[in-house]
Each structure stands twice: as C-alpha cells, then as structure tokens.
Amino acid sequence: MVNREVLLRPPRYRVERRAILLWAARALGVVLPLAGALAAAHALWDAVRPWTGPGLLALAVAGPVYATGMPLWRYAVHRWETTDDAVYAAAGWFVREWRIAPVSRIQTVDTVRGPFEQLLGLSTLTVTTASSGGAIRISGLDPQQATRAAERLSEITGRTPGDAT
C-alpha cells in the first residue's frame, strides 16, 4: 500500500436528515423533566416560588429554542467520510470538533443502534483508534450505510501494515 499523506479537511457527507428528530427527542428528554420538576416544586412549595417562577419562565423561552435550534445546528455541522486512508468527522453544536483518523491507527470498527435510533432507522458508526482523543462516533447514519462503512474499514485496516498503536 502506498503511504499517502492524510490532511485535515472537511468531510464530504451529511448525516441522515432523520438525525434531527433523534437530537430533538434527546433534547426534549432533558428539557421536559427539568420543566416538570420546576413546575412541581413551584406548585408544591411556597418557599421556592421566588426562584422557580423565573426559572420556569427562562425554561419556557430557552427550552424550545434549544430543542429546535440545537438539532438543526448539529445537522448543519455534522459531516463524515471514510476513504482508503482515513476516517473524517466533523461534529458538535456548541463546541465544534474536526477529527481525522488515519486507517493505520484504527483498532476496532463498530455499529451501534440504540432504541431511539432503531425507531428512526438510524445507526452510529464507532471507530476506535490508538488515540488519546478516544473513538470517533458518527451518529445519524442510515444502518446499511453504517454497516457498509464498517465492513469497508475493517477490510482496509486488515490489509494495512502496522499495529495501530
């Protein structure tokens, strides 16, 4: 195999549009219980009303903005790509991260489908590398696409010299 230089560059492909629903559902899973707890405290304890009232008001404004804005922003930012030389990923919404993993550093490749991902027909590709930065997780992929990428990366790493350390 020819050793080509791997450069940091933007990944080519978007995740599935259905990922917006996944991220929105996860956001609501944070916002709604918090709103419920604040509302219950506000209704049951007079002593906490001076701070739960403004908290509920702030959550009534910030919650919907977070639950709709964050998934749309993540969809705009998240990109991925696999080549014969590397795995590229761009992720985040508040803190943005660009990652590149040369194929020679890949140790394992997995696909994961949690309950919400299964419901929405999505999958996560996890590429574990010999890196202190941890695994690269590309969520929001079509399951067949994630499986093909995992199989392709496994085949490429199998014929790549080196011990991935």
Which pLDDT tens digit goes with each residue over 143-152?
Answer: 999 999 999 9
Q: How far is CA 7 from CA 87, 107, 109, 139, 142, in A?
A: 11, 20, 21, 23, 26
| pLDDT of the residue at 138 | 96
Q: Which CATH number fits the domain that encloses residue 93?
A: 2.30.29.210
| Tally of CA atoms within 13 A in the half-sphere of 98 that contains its CB | 6
Structurally, the chain folds into a number of domains equal to 2
Residues 83 and 141 in one domain: yes
Percent of the chain residues topping a pLDDT of 90: 73
Q: Which tokens is 5 given?
A: 């230089």
Q: What's the sign of the alpha-carbon dihedral 71, 76, 78, 84?
A: positive
Q: Which tokens is 74 given?
A: 């993540």
Phi, psi angles (nearest 5°) of residue 34 = -65, -45
Amino acid at 82: T
pLDDT at 158 over 90: no
pLDDT at 37 over 70: yes
Strands 86-91 and 97-102: antiparallel
Q: Which of 77-86, 94-103, 129-138 has the highest mean pLDDT?
A: 77-86
Residues 115 and 55 in one domain: no
Are the C-beta atoms of 85 and 100 separated by less than 8 Å?
Answer: no
Residues 98 and 69 in one domain: no
Residues 57 and 101 in one domain: no
Residues 24 and 84 in one domain: no
